[in-house]
Amino acid sequence: MPKALQPHPDRALPAGEAREVARRIHDSTRGLPLLCFHGHVDVALFATDEAFGNPADLLVVPDHYVTRMLISQGVPADRLGLPRLDGTGTAEPREIWREFCSRWHLFLGTPSRYWLEHEFAEVLGLTVAPSAETADVLYDEICARLAEPEFRPRALLDRFGIEVISTTDAATDDLAQHAKLAADLPGRVIPTFRPDALVHLARSGWSDLTRRLGELAGTDTSAYDGYLEGLRLRRQAFVAAGARATDHGHLSAAAVPLDDATARRIYDTALRGEVTAADAEIFAGHMLFQMAAMSADDGLVMQLHPGVLRDHDPAIHATYGPDQGHDIPVAAEFTRSLRPVLERFGHAEGFRMVLFTVDETVYSRELAPLAGVYPSVRLGAPWWFLDSPDGMRRFRELVTETAGFYNTSGFVDDTRAFLSIPARHDLARRIDAGYLAKLVVEHRLDEDDAFRVAKDLAYNLAADTYARRP
Amino acid sequence: MPKALQPHPDRALPAGEAREVARRIHDSTRGLPLLCFHGHVDVALFATDEAFGNPADLLVVPDHYVTRMLISQGVPADRLGLPRLDGTGTAEPREIWREFCSRWHLFLGTPSRYWLEHEFAEVLGLTVAPSAETADVLYDEICARLAEPEFRPRALLDRFGIEVISTTDAATDDLAQHAKLAADLPGRVIPTFRPDALVHLARSGWSDLTRRLGELAGTDTSAYDGYLEGLRLRRQAFVAAGARATDHGHLSAAAVPLDDATARRIYDTALRGEVTAADAEIFAGHMLFQMAAMSADDGLVMQLHPGVLRDHDPAIHATYGPDQGHDIPVAAEFTRSLRPVLERFGHAEGFRMVLFTVDETVYSRELAPLAGVYPSVRLGAPWWFLDSPDGMRRFRELVTETAGFYNTSGFVDDTRAFLSIPARHDLARRIDAGYLAKLVVEHRLDEDDAFRVAKDLAYNLAADTYARRP
Amino acid sequence: MPKALQPHPDRALPAGEAREVARRIHDSTRGLPLLCFHGHVDVALFATDEAFGNPADLLVVPDHYVTRMLISQGVPADRLGLPRLDGTGTAEPREIWREFCSRWHLFLGTPSRYWLEHEFAEVLGLTVAPSAETADVLYDEICARLAEPEFRPRALLDRFGIEVISTTDAATDDLAQHAKLAADLPGRVIPTFRPDALVHLARSGWSDLTRRLGELAGTDTSAYDGYLEGLRLRRQAFVAAGARATDHGHLSAAAVPLDDATARRIYDTALRGEVTAADAEIFAGHMLFQMAAMSADDGLVMQLHPGVLRDHDPAIHATYGPDQGHDIPVAAEFTRSLRPVLERFGHAEGFRMVLFTVDETVYSRELAPLAGVYPSVRLGAPWWFLDSPDGMRRFRELVTETAGFYNTSGFVDDTRAFLSIPARHDLARRIDAGYLAKLVVEHRLDEDDAFRVAKDLAYNLAADTYARRP
């Protein structure tokens, strides 16, 4: 007999005498809308509002958390349908789904299992757990659901209670789909300015993108000054389109300005295709500083995610392209790296910086001390590998005593898996409820204060962190 | 109706079946006197024994934990009365107090809130919590208390049960106030030798201090040999005044001796005002080694606090001076850094070194392994940002399994906030009681052993660690 | 009256509502055989099957965990009988035993105390705890036990339920004792290939060992190519003798291949006794890569233990030799260091790498992300200082959410203390049971899944990880 799928009402809440308190706290946040100011869902989803395809394309293929675990246990990427750059090799969606279902036990103890159970039971209404035996039945059942109108993306926006969701958009995106959405769903789906591809001079395709920047912004990007001005103008276009934030993924958090002459020189060598790796790196750090300066001007909240070595396995990158879950963290450093930005803008009223990390060692050593003194700094929610029950608990335990609750950003979900959004917010609220409940039963916090804080963490702090700067 | 201020009798003790055990363990340590061998309270407090001023000057302005949190949430330093170096800008104490009271929620979950609640309720006898509404009433009530004779510093020494308290004194301090105290309160208030300003050649004021060292010690500090001899003689003066320890705050823990010729050369360039940053750094490391050598001779316990980048924001430093809470930790390293000291003195009978960190990554990786094999090394209590409920719990969890309990220093409070001393010791005893109780209920330790260890952690180990060396 | 020695049946299980669940889970793993694929017990023990000597020689002198703690509290190494290289200085075993027993409290809260209590009570049948008063009685009682035939090593192999145990053997070992054991106890005691002494060119004795390698393998080690071929042939001899794995202790995890010309040049300078420290280091990294390449060929599982600075105190090393517990961890790095190996062999079917660390910061930052995507990587059990109740709990909490359970190696004991093996496996099973029970009572895992995982962690995963590669 197949195993039933029954997410427990008390899941991820603490056991013992804290449970009752945690339940009450969690209940008090259930009805709050979701603010998704750091999303990666494809804007086309909402612009076209087409029905989702099949379970494999919706839940397996695009979810790195899922594919990396299956790959780590020996399932070849091709059998999971990862699209090859050369167009060869496809896998049948039903076969992909079977690979996944028959290895459901691999996800025990991981947040993926938690999110998926939530999606299966509460979003899709499934009643049996995935397994080799149930794979086909589940496949058909999900396909049937996805064909119903209430499973269209815009309908789910309502059902999920999403008040605002950000997408992530290249600085060179023309924002046409966002223009459509601004008309259809005003203020509900907004862009985020991501200039990474334009500030990393050595990445392939950089010069084409730079030319595209010039076209879009109407500036002359054959010189550094026009490039900088182009970025400034694109940011204004994003602001006009409703953007609240920028997003920056750099290997290092170093944000050290160069003098103009040096910046111009490096830019010129890059245009000639002759930039050195070292110059490209200091230029990226220079541009991080420039982006901070522009944020202090135009009020876009600056989100920084450093410390990940992209495409650790070059063969995977060559075959399947970037962002295939083969990115591996390295040690992060913020104290010295951000000093130039913070001594310049750390107390500036218009500037807001949200810091994320996948290196937990900086929580108590660097991030909490920085956020606990600089008014411009907020600590982002646990990111990527750390967006998990124990990861979120450690975050609170490691930062609260130095930074308090009110220097954290509130929960943001950071996902491209649209169906997982309610599960992710709910899990975060449960973990925060559990953390607060523990403080309550240890008499470190009153229960009425816990209610107030829980609401702030779940909603108000994100609203405040990503509010338009003056 | 204002919220009542009622610190719970079981606060910061674990919930569940460990609570009863923790209560018993904590009770057994309540009556023990306080040993404060690593204090930063101003010696003048005890020398003059004058009444404290007002709540703002006592509890807000000088407490970095409090001011940095308020600043991080946008309260300008000037509105908090931080004294400007140029003498301009003052804030009315009652206004400062109101800023603080109206933001009491910012401290939820922080040790500051815990300490202050303890001070308010148990030291000052207040009964309502701070808020915008209660600020003025509390202000007046505290002022009235502070005017009473039993709130004078020396009376509080008795009331707090402080057996010995160390102050922190520059190597160039003439110890005049300590001489007075040695007569009035023999052995109760003792100095600690802090030579930082003399060993960092590039800091402003260094050459004046060096001259002052020569005058006090009667040596010729226009040359390195006289400087070194001057330090040795000042240490002897501190020993004669009752000092038990030295205290060293360096960016790095590196303690690498130079040959005499190099040390002399660098010293000479510093006297000429021409020392390079690199030379100043290796000289500081050289002097850390020299201080260890002198400790092995004169028996002063060597306390080391590395890993903090001072004055992260130069504008704050320029306006308000050093030590304004804008110091941010960096990654620490002890294994290689202390090797020269430990291979020379690690097994020396007269040498005792107490190591502190604000980088928790070294607890299990470096500090516990070092303290767990070198007889001269003890691990200091969790310091600064880590002197907190979860911080102290993590310390025990991360070091005990390798270093045991008996290679730790016992609790020292490391505070300049005199009124917070009982709260800090009490909190440490509660957290240790909770940690021990957890081991008891998990059958990892017998309850009678837990009682013995609790007493050792609260009193005996500090007495032993800071005992005069043979 | 002496204190009774009564290890509690629930020891190291969680308190509260998780205890009952943890008990059931632990019970379900009790009967499983022990797989000891990463042991350091001396092969001679099993080859000769002679009776153990006295309590000091069995339980104190060779156990670094024990001697380092006693040394840290001021007991001179000579009084503990650590054998001096020059043959001078011996301590009477009964005196050594008294030193240990009278300081039994130093081990409170450490895994050594846990293991020893288990050995005393469950292996040796003692009933009173060690103390100054009971030392002599215990000494005599243990001596009497050790004289009984059922305390011979091979009898204990059966009693302990050890299915397979690996020893650790130099690449230049002739495997004669293993040949004898292969006949007497087929497949039960197997060698592990440890080439460290041959790949670190600057260590004393290297050239003699290299000559010995040539003799054993029948290759010409006066040149690099013959040396490499010699290693390959010795590996084949180990495979033939039943080996499943290699073991590598390097300061850094860097595994960067050199071109042949450079490797040959460095090798030649080493033969002339002129190798530089820098060249020796890059050669060690080169050989780590070569060992990975050979593992991908011959199927030996590659175990890597980086990040320990050996012989921190040179005086201890000079007097007593290496491996005296004076090895101290340093910060570890895997992401960049292993990239050359993983981009070449990370997806190779024949390759399996087990990664160990004594730097916990890499658990969630590097190791779990690497093991969570590369099929060849498994995370080794918490090692050395981290093989402890809280250390093992942190391991699960920090890696499971990213790597799951099935990318970990299963428990291996990594000990040279034969009598402690059942205690170590039992403790690991208890901690894993407690971790799983916590997930169960927090409704993050079903109890039936917990039973399955517990069995896999205790037995099946080690069997799978160390299975012969195809």
pLDDT tens column, C250-306: 999 999 999 999 999 999 999 999 999 999 999 999 999 999 999 999 999 999 999
Q: Which of C15, C361, C394 sits opposite B441 (nearest CB)?
A: C15
CA gap C408, C388 in Å, rounded: 17
CB of A197 within 8 A of CB of A67?
A: no
Q: pLDDT band at residue A324, thresholds of 50, 70 and 90? A: confident
Number of neighbours of residue C26 by Cβ within 10 angstroms: 24
Query: Which residues neighbour B240 within 8 Å (Cβ) at sequence distance 6 or greater?
Result: none
Which pLDDT score, from 0 to 100, does residue C95 have? 97
Which run of H or E residues covers position C67? Answer: helix C64-72
With an 8 Å Cβ cutoff, the interface of chain B facing chain A consists of 8, 10-16, 68-69, 71-74, 105-111, 114, 309, 312-315, 325-326, 328-331, 358-361, 385-386, 388-391, 394
Work out the angle between the directed axes of helices B421-441 and B111-118 (0-180°, nearest 10): 120
**Cβ within 8 Å of residue B152, ≥6 positions away:** B49, B50, B51
Nearest-Cα distance to chain B for C131, in Å, is 13
Neighbours of A376 (CB within 10 A): 26
Say how far apart CA C25 and CA C436 lie, in whole Å: 8
Q: Is C110 exposed, middle or buried (0-12, 13-18, 19+ CB in 10 A)?
A: buried
Domains and CATH numbers, chain C: 18-50+160-465 (3.20.20.140), 51-151 (1.10.2020.10)
With a cut of 90, say whether residue A204 has pLDDT above it. no
Cβ separation A335–B312 shorter than 8 A? yes
Query: Along the 470 residues of chain C, how does pLDDT read in single tens digits?
Result: 789 998 999 999 999 999 999 999 999 999 999 999 999 999 999 999 999 999 999 999 999 999 999 999 999 999 999 999 998 878 999 999 999 999 999 999 999 999 999 999 999 999 999 999 999 999 999 999 999 999 999 999 999 999 999 999 999 999 999 999 999 999 999 999 999 999 999 998 999 999 999 999 999 999 999 999 999 999 999 999 999 999 999 999 999 999 999 999 999 999 999 999 999 999 999 999 999 999 999 999 999 999 999 999 988 889 998 888 889 999 999 999 999 999 999 999 989 999 999 999 999 999 999 999 999 999 999 999 999 999 999 999 999 999 999 999 999 988 989 999 999 999 999 999 999 999 999 999 999 999 999 999 999 999 999 998 66
Which stretches of chain C sit within 8 Å of chain A by CB?
Answer: 16-18, 331, 333, 335-336, 339, 342-343, 346-347, 361, 364-366, 368-375, 377, 397-398, 400-407, 438-439, 441-445, 449, 452-453
CB contact under 8 A, C400 and A110: yes
- H helices within A150-253, ranges in order? 153-159, 176-184, 196-199, 206-217, 224-240
Give the tens place of pLDDT for each residue, A239-280: 999 999 999 999 999 999 999 999 999 999 999 999 999 999
pLDDT confidence tier of residue A127, bands split at 50, 70 and 90: very high
Put simply, the answer to whether A73 touches C406 (Cβ < 8 Å) is: yes
The predicted pLDDT at position C324 comes to 81
All residues of chain B having their beta carbon less than 8 Å from the beta carbon of residue A370 are: 312, 328
CB C313 to CB B347 under 8 A? Answer: yes
Q: Which residue of A has its CA nearest to B13?
A: A442
From the CA of B354, how many Å to the nearest CA of chain C? 14
Q: Do C72 and B371 touch (CB under 8 A)?
A: yes
Question: Which residues of chain C does B17 touch, with a Cβ-Cβ cutoff of 8 Å?
Answer: 15-16
| Host H or E run for residue C117 | helix C111-118
Instruction: Answer whether C365 sits within 8 Å of A314, measured CB to CB.
Output: no
Give which of A104, A118, A327, A328 to mutate to test C binding, by max C Cβ within 10 Å. A328
Which residues partner with A379 through β-bridges? A355, A408
Kindly report the nearest CA distance between residue A321 and chain B, in angstroms: 35
- Residue of C313, C360, C385 lying closest to B342 (CB–CB): C313
Q: What is the pLDDT of residue C322?
A: 84
Sign of CA dihedral C15, C18, C20, C22: negative
Collapsed DSSP state (helix, strand, coil) of residue B324: coil
H helix or E strand, kind and range, residue B328: strand B328-329
Spatial CB neighbours of A259, under 8 Å, sequence gap ≥ 6: none
What pLDDT is attached to residue A102?
98
Site of tokens 């001011």: B67
Pairing, β B34-36 against β B162-166:
parallel
Q: Distance (Å, rounded) from C-alpha B346 to C-alpha B374? A: 5
Q: What's the one-letter identity of residue A268?
A: D
Chain B contact partners (≥3 CB pairs within 8 A): A, C
Give CA C31 to chain center in angstroms: 23
Residue B72 to residue A400, Cβ atoms within 8 A: no
Interface of B with C (CB under 8 A): 16-18, 331, 333, 335-336, 339, 342-343, 346-347, 361, 364-366, 368-375, 377, 397-398, 400-407, 438-439, 441-445, 449, 452-453
> Is A374 close to B313, i.e. CB distance below 8 A?
yes
Q: Which of B3, B80, B312 is most worth mutating to test chain A (most A CB atoms within 10 A of its CB)?
A: B312
Is the Cβ pair A108, C453 closer than 8 Å?
yes
Closest alpha carbon within chain B to C65: B402
CA–CA dist A47, A35 (Å, integer): 19
Mutate to test the interface with A, among B65, B108, B319 (most CBs of A within 10 A): B108
What ipTM does this complex have? 0.97
Cβ-Cβ pairs closer than 8 A, A with B, add up to 124
Residue of A nearest to C339 (CA): A312
Query: Are B108 and A335 in contact (CB < 8 Å)?
Result: no
pLDDT digits (tens, 9 = 90+) for A374-422: 999 999 999 999 999 999 999 999 999 999 999 999 999 889 899 999 9
What sign does the CA torsion over B404, B406, B409, B412 have?
positive
Mean pLDDT by 10 residues, chain B (470 residues): 91 97 98 96 96 95 94 95 87 97 98 97 97 98 97 97 97 97 96 98 94 98 98 98 97 97 98 97 98 98 96 90 88 98 95 98 98 98 96 98 98 92 98 98 97 98 88
The two structure tokens encoding residue C10: 């629930």
CB contact under 8 A, B390 and A375: no
| A306 CB-near residues (< 8 Å, 6+ apart) | A249, A250, A251, A252, A253, A332, A334, A337, A357
Neighboring chain B residues of A371 at a CB cutoff of 8 Å: 72
- Interface contact A441-B15, CB threshold 8 A: yes
**CB within 8 Å: C343 and A15:** no
